[in-house]
């Protein structure tokens, strides 16, 4: 997909927001939804998506909504770090298919990293066990309350 195109209201994240597709939620308010990535690159890989906007990527996000959304991205990253105690945390976001974007609804990846542990491939590999993702989410949620 090109960098700039019309927003597709049937993308998987829009369906998750509408409750048409399941997700393992970590945090939700009127600004953002955070949930576990079902194809995690690392234990605790969490996605944070904005609500009430039709932004395909960071370049499309209304400026006036960025501050509140980015505060949620930071809060989730801090909660993941506190809950899982990784050696580092990657906070990343892709704009357009050539940059690695696979779902065209703005989202940030929060990816815990540990020294000596390989990182899985982006948008690849095997789907995670939902029960295991729920267990990880239960560790993170208390740090977002």
List active site positions: 107
For residue 120, give every residue at least 6 positions away whose Cβ sits within 8 Å of its Cβ, in sequence order, or none: 39, 40, 41, 42
For residue 104, give every residue at least 6 positions away whose Cβ sits within 8 Å of its Cβ, in sequence order, or none: 1, 5, 7, 8, 11, 56, 57
Closest CA to 80 of 39, 109, 103: 109
Regarding beta strands 88-92 and 32-36, do their DSSP bridges make them parallel or antiparallel, or are they unpaired? unpaired
């Amino acid at each position: 997909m090109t960098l700039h195109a019309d927003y597709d209201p049937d993308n998987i994240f829009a369906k998750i927001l509408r409750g048409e597709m399941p997700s393992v939620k970590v945090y939700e308010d009127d600004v953002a939804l955070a949930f576990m990535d079902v194809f995690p690159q690392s234990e605790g890989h969490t996605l944070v998506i904005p609500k009430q906007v039709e932004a395909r990527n960071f370049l499309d996000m209304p400026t006036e909504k960025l501050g509140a959304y980015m505060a949620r991205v930071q809060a989730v990253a801090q909660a993941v770090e506190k809950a899982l105690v990784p050696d580092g945390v990657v906070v990343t976001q892709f704009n357009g298919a050539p940059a690695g974007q696979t779902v065209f609804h703005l989202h940030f990846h929060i990816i815990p990293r540990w020294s000596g542990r390989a990182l899985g491939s982006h948008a690849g590999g095997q789907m995670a066990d939902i029960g295991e993702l729920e267990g990880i989410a239960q560790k993170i949620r208390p740090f977002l309350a």
